[in-house]
């Protein structure tokens, strides 16, 4: 499974108002029925015919007092393959929801 994770910070207390626009700008759709006040679940809106895998994003509080959130991007694509759809969504998402300190947390050597 391809997987990327990084931390980000927000100003307010509401995940929905803080992240919905950034997720939509990155081409993701927030699934209201799978989201809650503690986490947001989103998936790719546009599935290209060249990609058979769907990328999912989960944003949740890692430390609500510090207003830190964990952003996880994953798909069922092979972990060691480069230029996966997961990697492309990760790169795109970082433009709209920047990492806390301009660097991602390495997960098993990714990123």
Which ranges of 34-111 does DSSP label H, i.e. alpha helix? 85-96
pTM of the model: 0.82
Ordered structural domains, the chain, with CATH: 2-96 (3.30.310.10)
Q: Are 95 and 6 in contact (CB under 8 A)?
A: no
Q: Is 6 helix (H, G, I), strand (E, B) or coil?
A: strand
* Structure confidence by residue, pLDDT tens digits, 2-56: 899 999 999 888 898 899 888 988 889 999 899 888 899 999 866 555 556 789 9
The span from the CA of 98 to the CA of 9, in Å, is 8
* Structure confidence by residue, pLDDT tens digits, 67-89: 999 999 999 888 777 888 889 99
């Amino acid at each position: 499974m391809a997987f990327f994770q990084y931390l980000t910070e927000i100003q307010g207390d509401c995940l929905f108002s803080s992240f919905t626009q950034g997720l939509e700008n990155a081409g993701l759709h927030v699934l209201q029925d799978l989201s809650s006040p503690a986490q947001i679940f989103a998936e790719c809106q546009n599935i290209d015919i060249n990609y058979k895998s769907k990328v999912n994003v989960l944003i949740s509080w890692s430390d609500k007092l510090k207003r830190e959130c964990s952003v996880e991007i994953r798909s069922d694509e092979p972990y060691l393959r480069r230029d996966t759809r997961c990697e492309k969504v990760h790169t795109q998402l970082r433009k709209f929801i920047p990492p806390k300190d301009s660097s991602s947390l390495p997960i098993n050597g990714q990123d």
